[in-house]
């Protein structure tokens, strides 16, 4: 019988952390062995809304948790201020990382890749775990060969800290891999209100919306002569991310180095 993959979750008391804990606990190939959250008390077992487990170690210190339960994989759903140090701690301990927290910069990604290789484990940085979102990005990448004029609108809940989203950045990078650098055609454009045209990545405008009621949504709008093309994905509930989270955990065991984007695992 194949041994189960031992998993810990960092940021376990957040909405994505709790959803991930339930998904891991209910998967026959995985074993949930630890939960880390800065709001946690050191205790055995936890009782969260919709989730009861009496055999999981819960702590507020990641290094201590790793030493106690020796996991194979850490899943991180914390925040942009904490994620980099969490990943460094896990990688140095030889623990594979699956990261859904956005906000890592290029310097941090290069350092994570270096640490992963040095310690013989993998680090998956996944801007969006929804399989539909991955398909949306790949379809946008393909469309960019024929529609080079494009803008992105991404919409998230009002508790999301960073903008634009990691999904929007990844989408822009994939689109730009299929087209020559292109600036806006209207050179006379000016903003009466600074920021009204959104941010920009290599000629692609990105607009971020933060409102209650949203979960995670993105629309990629292409413009052509006499026509437009819209590619949109909507995450209605956080449970929709779970198949991608579980798939990534299983795929990353045995991988060495950095994987950026779930499209590289499908």
Residues with catalytic annotation? Answer: 156, 160
Residue reference for tokens 């009002």: 158
- d(CA 173, CA 194) in angstroms, rounded, equals 24
Calculate Rg over the CA atoms of the chain. Answer: 20
* 88, 115 Cβ separation under 8 angstroms: yes
- d(CA 49, CA 19) in angstroms, rounded, equals 10
- d(CA 232, CA 147) in angstroms, rounded, equals 16
- d(CA 123, CA 108) in angstroms, rounded, equals 12
Nearest to 34 by CA among 101, 95, 119: 95
Between helix 166-176 and helix 131-143 the angle, nearest 10°, is 30
Put residue 70 in one of left, alpha, beta given phi > 0 → left and psi -120 to 50 → alpha: left
According to DSSP, the residues that pair with 156 across neighbouring strands are 210, 216
Q: Token pair for residue 46? A: 């936890």
């Amino acid at each position: 019988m194949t041994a189960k993959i031992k998993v810990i979750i960092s940021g376990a008391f957040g909405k994505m952390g709790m959803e991930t804990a339930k998904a891991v606990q209910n998967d026959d190939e995985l074993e949930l062995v630890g939960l880390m959250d800065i709001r946690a008390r050191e205790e055995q077992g936890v009782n969260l809304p919709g989730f009861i487990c009496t055999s999981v170690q819960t702590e507020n210190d990641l290094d201590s948790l790793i030493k106690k339960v020796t996991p194979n994989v850490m899943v991180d759903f914390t925040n942009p201020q904490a994620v980099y140090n969490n990943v460094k701690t896990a990688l140095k301990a030889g623990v594979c990382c699956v990261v859904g927290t956005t906000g890592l910069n290029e310097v941090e990604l290069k350092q994570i890749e270096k640490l992963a290789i040095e310690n013989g484990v993998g680090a998956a940085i996944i801007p969006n775990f929804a399989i539909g979102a991955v398909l949306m990005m790949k379809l946008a990448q393909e469309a960019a060969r024929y529609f080079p004029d494009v803008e992105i609108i991404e919409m998230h809940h009002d508790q999301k800290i960073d903008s634009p989203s990691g999904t929007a950045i990844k989408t822009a990078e994939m689109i730009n891999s299929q087209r020559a650098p292109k600036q806006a055609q209207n050179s006379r454009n000016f903003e009466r209100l600074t920021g009204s045209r959104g941010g920009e990545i290599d000629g692609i405008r990105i607009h971020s919306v933060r409102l209650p009621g949203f979960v995670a949504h993105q629309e990629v709008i292409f413009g052509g002569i006499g026509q437009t093309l819209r590619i949109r994905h909507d995450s209605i509930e956080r449970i929709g991310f779970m198949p991608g989270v579980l798939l990534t955990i299983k795929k990353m065991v045995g991988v060495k180095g950095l994987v950026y984007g779930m499209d590289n695992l499908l």
